Amino acid sequence: MKKQYYTMNGNDVSARSYNCPISFKFSVEMAREIKDKPYKKVIKFLDDVMDLKRHLPLKRYNRDVGHKKGDAVSGVKSGRYPVKVAKYFKKVLEMAKSNADYKGLDSEKKDLIVRGAVVSQGVKRFNFQTKGKRRVRRDQTTSIEIVLVQQGKFVAKAKETKKAEIKPELKAESKTETKKETVVQKDIDKKVLQKEKVEEHKKTLARENQKGSN
């Protein structure tokens, strides 16, 4: 998954992780479950899956999967506890949140939601068994892309505005300093030229006096 599936807007941030050693089927179900939900609720759901408190509902890949107790979740009762998938999804979500903080979005508010989540098949690696066995296992990997969006207007960071205010002042000061240096250098050059001209004039007068005396 080397391409980007979502076009980024002003309030969007994304994070990607390639070739994760997790189940592709469970990743598809997880991406469907967390889409269009608030960031904090998704993190809470992933923590509960890792603690085996809540199960991931399986709508598509639910063959030979038993039903869970209680009410139906997302319209189905079948589910599993993919702890490893939840760990990798939480890692990518935290990366996206750090990108939101760097961009200037207020990630502490409740309006930060998961705009989209896409998974795709990664690199397939061959894994050989030990002790000279000829059986070859083909391990499959999964790539993840998650996009977060903040509802409302985009607000830039205060640090960036301060830098923007300071930079013109620094540029103006540097320009004035360079102008002063150039003026001083020109004055020095003029004085040097005047001294050289005076010395040359003295030399020429001395030569003429020597010729007249001869």
pLDDT, one tens digit for every residue, the chain (214 residues):
455 666 777 788 999 999 999 999 999 999 999 999 999 999 999 999 999 999 999 999 988 888 888 888 888 889 999 999 999 999 999 999 999 888 888 766 667 899 889 999 888 877 777 776 666 677 889 999 999 998 765 555 544 444 455 455 555 566 666 666 676 676 777 777 777 777 887 777 777 777 766 5
3-state secondary structure the chain: CCCCCCCCCCCEEEEEEEEECCCHHHHHHHHHHHCCCEHHHHHHHHHHHHCCCCCEECCCCCCCCCECCCCCECCECEEECCHHHHHHHHHHHHHHHHHHHHHCCCCCCCCEEEEEEEEEEEEEEEEECCCCCCCEEEEEEEEEEEEEEECCCCCCCHHHHHHHHHHHHHHHHHHHHHHHHHHHHHHHHHHHHHHHHHHHHHHHHHHHHHHHHC
Taking CA atoms, 122 is separated from 1, 23, 64, 89, 94, in Å, by 7, 11, 26, 15, 21
Q: d(Cα 166, Cα 182) in Å, to the nearest integer?
A: 25
Tell me what pLDDT residue 156 has: 52
Q: What is the pTM of this model?
A: 0.66
Q: d(Cα 11, Cα 33) in Å, to the nearest integer?
A: 22
Q: d(Cα 170, Cα 161) in Å, to the nearest integer?
A: 15
Tell me what pLDDT residue 161 has: 47
Residues contacting 37, CB < 8 A, separation 6+: 45, 113, 114
Tell me what pLDDT residue 85 has: 96
Answer whether 137's CB lies under 8 Å from 124's CB: no
Tell me what pLDDT residue 3 has: 57
Tell me what pLDDT residue 1 has: 44
Residues contacting 55, CB < 8 A, separation 6+: 49, 68, 73, 79, 80, 81
**What backbone torsions phi and psi does residue 194 show, to the nearest 5 degrees?**
-65, -40
